[in-house]
């Protein structure tokens, strides 16, 4: 089973401004800085808080959506972040 975590060459922080919570992610040491807002910010924060945890279930719990309804979208998003080097995939027992 595949787990994901934030690799050591990624820095990230968040702010809670007029647009709601946003997450800013930078590849070190050069950037660029990517901005995640809305559900994307929520997914990132859930994953960063509990790497290898059940991200889809946690996002479903936070948004009140059925797990089955959001699973494909959340996993596609995580896959995209991994392809961009913002997350690291590894085998999980």
Task: Specify the residue, 56 or 77, whose C-beta has the smaller distance to other proteins.
Answer: 77
Candidates 17-25, 51-59, 68-76, 85-93; binding stretch for other proteins (CB under 8 A): 17-25
3-state DSSP assignment of residue 66: coil
> Of the candidates 3, 5, 21, 37, which one interacts with other proteins according to CB under 8 A?
37
> Of the candidates 26, 67, 88, 89, which one interacts with other proteins according to CB under 8 A?
26
Phi, psi dihedrals of residue 78, rounded to the nearest 5°:
-65, -35
CA distance 89 to 91: 7
CA distance 55 to 53: 6
Task: Specify the residue, 26 or 89, whose C-beta has the smaller distance to other proteins.
Answer: 26
Work out whether 9 is an interface residue with other proteins (CB under 8 A). Answer: yes
For residue 71, what are the CA distances in angstroms to 33, 60, 66? 27, 9, 9
Task: Specify the residue, 30 or 68, whose C-beta has the smaller distance to other proteins.
Answer: 30
Work out whether 19 is an interface residue with other proteins (CB under 8 A). Answer: yes
């Amino acid at each position: 089973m595949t787990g994901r975590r934030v690799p050591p060459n990624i820095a990230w922080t968040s702010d809670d401004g007029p647009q709601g919570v946003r997450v800013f992610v930078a590849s070190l040491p050069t950037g660029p800085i990517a901005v995640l807002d809305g559900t994307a910010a929520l997914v990132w924060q859930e994953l960063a808080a509990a790497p290898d945890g059940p991200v889809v279930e946690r996002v479903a719990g936070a948004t009140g959506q059925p797990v089955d309804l959001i699973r494909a979208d959340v996993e596609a998003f995580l896959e995209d972040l991994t392809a961009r080097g913002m997350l690291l995939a590894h085998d999980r027992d």
